[in-house]
Each structure stands twice: as structure tokens, then as C-alpha cells.
A and B are shown apart, each in its own frame.
Chain A
Amino acid sequence: MKRCVIIGGGHAGAQACASLRKEGWTGQIILITDEDSLPYHRPPLSKTYLQNQVSAAQLLIRPEAAYDKDDIDVKLNTRVDKIEPAIQSIQLQNGEHISYDKLLICTGSRARKADCMGAELGNIFYIKTLSDIEKLSSTLTSSRTQTSQRIVMVGGGYIGLETAAVLKKMGHDVTIIERESRLLARVTAQSISTFYHKLHKRNGIKIFTDTNVVAFQGKDTVSTVLCEDKVIPADIVIVGIGAQTNTELAKNAGLLVENSGIVVNELCQTTDVNIYAAGDCTIGIEHHSGLATRIESVPNALEQAKTAAATICGKHKPVTAVPWFWSDQFDCKIQIAGLNTGYDETLLRQTDQQTLSLWYLKQGRVIAADCINCAKDFMAAKKIIAQRIHVPSDVLTNLDIDLIKELAKLTQPS
């Protein structure tokens, strides 16, 4: 019987199990994860789960019974040491070898660690896994003497902002430190950064931009964060300074790895004929922009896993979906369609202070949109990008025009 081995139990790994069966894989499937849990939804970790609104069981992407039903052999708490493509085999940390006919790498990424002085002190946390959140959560609840903790969030990206918002709602005193001159500097235009800066300020979060952390100080646990020009007292520090892809296994196996991503084509094939890869750990040519891109998002992990499963089963289902992202902070939902890399113009479509979309154009064509509290614009943007519809600028900014109805007109065969 043929055997497909999946390394990594994140969103991509979980999806691949289901998709392989759906695409007709009748052989064995082994899912290997180094975590202590079946694959779970990560985005709620820093939100509903941290606030105790959902249980760990409710976080599961699929219940245990679904793996039984699909006859998936799940190996929890198991690490892979190496991949040996020449003999189509992997070696586990415990020395055991498992041979494969097809191998799917879904190793994702890990939180980038702080490397300044004092980074090893206690009460410094990361936001990535269930166990990360459990550690943070138990520290928050064990400090009974003080219900409100002074929390310093290092990093003003989406993960940092989401977590900061939740901790503030839980009653803590939250300070965000961002190295760049504005929040979300790497991923959005100035106006969206300004929107989020104001949102967090309005909700009582302190923000320092253009600020580098020099050291964490304290005896056993952190007590102050030393920056170039200030010292910030802290009971708890959370580091959210981005992710590092887990590409070591692939690299050591001789697969092509570029710009921190395992190189895959539109069918999620790597440079080895029996090895495929999906999710955050990959880099490939994004269908709509034509750019070699690493896309760190749940939707991309799912799309690539579906494609990889289809390819493994001898079918042709290239990834063509428009990349998209979302983030929930306080009462604001941002939905992002497309990739804004290389934009040369932005257009703002704003209904009121809380409802707006920012459209990114490249040579007059929409390539991405950041939509805050306006799902309608988001849905329209996905369609515009997917079908390369030319929408005149004055239509995009005219609030009297319903974009969805306008699109129906623009796409009507003439």
C-alpha cells in the first residue's frame, strides 16, 4: 500500500489529510506533529482562547473522530530529524525511520525570538502555539495580588496589535513598542497605520514608535524594558516581532530554499519529484501578481494544502485564489484582499470614521485592498483582483455607487 507522510500539524497539515481522502488517496496517511494537540485554529489563540471564551477542544480544526474516519495515523509530540529523498524515507528524533511514497512538508513557521540582553528572563512570552498561550494565560491568572498587569508588547504588527487589544479589554495596562516609524509599517500604507494607531490610543494603549529594545532587565522575571531613550516598567513582556520559517529539514534534504521559503510551483511541487510543500514555509510565484512571494496566512495554507493533495493524487488544481488576510482588533475587522507589493497609487473609499477601504493600484489596476469594517468592499476587491476587472478610479471612490452592483454591470458580456 502506498504511503503519504505529512510533516507538520498546522492548518495546512490538517487540510491536507482531508483533501487527500477527498481527492481519492486510498493509501496510508501519516500526520506528524511536534505539538501535543491535533491541529487547531491559531487565530483565536490570542483572542477568544486567551479570554477563556472557548475551550481547547473547540479550537480543533477537525475533531479526533474525523481523523479516525479518514484513517489518518496521527503522531503527536513527534519531531522529524531528517528527510532522505534518495531512499524516500524520514528519520524521527527517536531514531525510527518511516518510508514514504509521497511526502508533504507543512512545517510552517515559528515565532522569531528576541535576541537582546535579558531575553531569557521569565515572564517573556510569544504568541504562536497553544502552549505559548497557556503559559501566558497561567501567568496572567496566577498573579492574584495584582489583577491589572503592566504588559509591554514588543512589535506593532497584526499579531502584536490583536494581542494588545485583547489584553487591554481584559483590563491590563498595555504598551506597544514598535521599531519602525509607524505600526504595521511593513504591510500597509500610512493611512491604515494611522487608523490603527488612533484606535489603540483611543482604547488606552500606549504606543512608542521608532523605539528599539536594548535589553530586558530583572532578577528572575522581567521587570523593565530598556529602550534607547526610555525605561518601561513591565510585569509581562510579549514579543511579536514576526515569524521564521521552518525550512531546515527541506534545506538539509537538498530541496531548493530561497528567501526563507521552500520553493514550490503552482502545484506545490518542490524540486524533488516525491516531495511537496504547503503553507507558511513555502515560496512560490503568486498567481495574480506574478511575484515570488511567501504568504503567511491561514487561507493560503488551506489553498496550497488542497492543491498539494490534488497533485499527489495525479490531478491538476493549481493555486489561483486571491490571497487574503483578516485581523480583529477591538470592534474593528480588517479584511485584506490581494498583495500590495509594488503599488504606485492608493485610493480611499471612506463611509465614516470606522468604515473605510484603501485600494492599492499598480499602473491603474487594483492589486489589493485593505477593508476596515466593510466586508462588501472586501468581497468586491477579491472579485476585481481575481478577474482583473478595470474599475475607474472615480467609481472606486464614489460612495453613491454600490461596488457590487457596479461589478455586475462591468462584467456583463457586451
Chain B
Amino acid sequence: MPEITFVDFAGNETKVDVPSGTSLMQAAMENMVEGIEAECGGSGSCATCHCYLTTDWQGKIADPDSNESDMLEMVTEQKDLSRLSCQVLVSDEHNGLQVHLPESQY
């Protein structure tokens, strides 16, 4: 099972094993990782599960679709590597992925 590390804005790390096919949002919720609200429960409607991926994973994870890209344009603290964690599905190749969480969702 791929191991994913969530890093909160203060730098605290939480490592969790995530079954393939699970979204990063779902993994965070199930493992009580704070800093992801996910108001809409993963339907890509609310932009409250904003996270950042790291540069070394660029190109190895499917790009955001147009709905996600549009929502990301106006999240607070947006960066190039911003994603909505409910739209990123974990697969076996993602072992070691680091996911950083913004301060605004605390």
C-alpha cells in the first residue's frame, strides 16, 4: 500500500498507508489529518480540501481537470502545485508522496 505523508503548515508530518484508488482527501479524513475540511464530501464543489504537491512529483500525477483548475484559481494561498485533494486518486506509483496543507483550512 502506498505510504503518503501529510505535512501541516507548522511542519508536523503524518504518515499514512493509503489503499490504491482512495483520494488524498478521503485518506486524510479517515486518518484524522487536520487541515482538510472537505465540506462537499469530495464532489469537487467547495475547494476546502486544498493541498500542495511537491515539485518532484510533477508529471507523475494526473493533471487537474477544468473544473478543478477553475476552482484553484481563487483558493486562498494558491501556488503552482495547488490541488484539490478530493480529486487526486492515490495509486501504487505514488508511494512516498508528500502532501502539504495550507494554513487557511485550520
> Known contacts A43-B41, A335-B45: does B29 contact A379 (CB below 8 Å)?
no
Q: Cβ of B2 < 8 Å from any Cβ of A?
A: no
In A222-274, the 8 Å CB interface with B consists of none
Cβ of A65 within 8 Å of any chain B Cβ, yes or no, is yes
**A333/B73 in contact, CB under 8 A:** no
Expressed in whole angstroms, the Cα–Cα distance for A333 and B41 within the complex equals 15
| A333 near B45: Cβ-Cβ < 8 Å | yes
Q: Decide if B43 touches A44 in the complex (CB within 8 Å).
A: yes
Chain B residues contacting A324 (CB-CB under 8 Å) are 46
A22 shortest CB reach to chain B, Å: 9
How long is the Cα–Cα vector from A69 to B42 in the complex, in angstroms? Answer: 23
Is A383's CB under 8 angstroms from B74's CB? yes
Could you say which residues of chain A place their CB within 8 Å of the CB of B32? 62-63, 65-66, 69
Q: Does B39 interact with chain A (Cβ within 8 Å)?
A: yes
User: Is B67 interfacial (CB-CB < 8 Å)?
Assistant: yes
Contacts of A379 in B (CB 8 A): 47, 70-71, 73-74
Closest chain B residue, CB of each to CB of A43? B41
Q: Interface size (B, Cβ < 8 Å)?
A: 20
Q: Are A328 and B71 touching (Cβ within 8 A)? A: no
Main secondary structure of the interface of B (DSSP, over half): loop
Contacts of B82 in A (CB 8 A): none
Bound CA span A58–B40, Å: 13
List, in ascending order, chain B residues with CB within 8 A of A302's CB.
37, 39
Instruction: Say yes or no: B73 contacts A43, CB within 8 Å.
Output: no
With A63-B32, A375-B67 as known contacts, state yes or no: A298 contacts B39, CB within 8 Å. Answer: yes
| B80 lies within 8 A of chain A by Cβ | no
- Does any Cβ of B come within 8 Å of A299's Cβ? yes
Q: What is A's interface to B at a CB cutoff of 8 Å?
A: 41, 43-44, 58-59, 61-63, 65-66, 69, 298-299, 302, 324, 326, 328, 333, 335, 373-376, 378-380, 383, 404
25 contacts between A and B (CB under 8 A): A43-B40, A43-B43, A44-B41, A44-B42, A61-B29, A63-B29, A63-B30, A65-B32, A66-B32, A299-B39, A302-B39, A326-B45, A333-B44, A333-B67, A373-B67, A375-B68, A375-B71, A376-B70, A376-B71, A376-B73, A376-B74, A379-B73, A379-B74, A383-B74, A404-B73
> What 7 A-B pairs have minimum CB-CB distances, sorted nearest first?
A41-B41, A379-B74, A375-B70, A326-B45, A376-B70, A375-B71, A66-B32
Residues of B within 8 A of A (CB): 26, 29-30, 32, 37, 39-47, 67-68, 70-71, 73-74
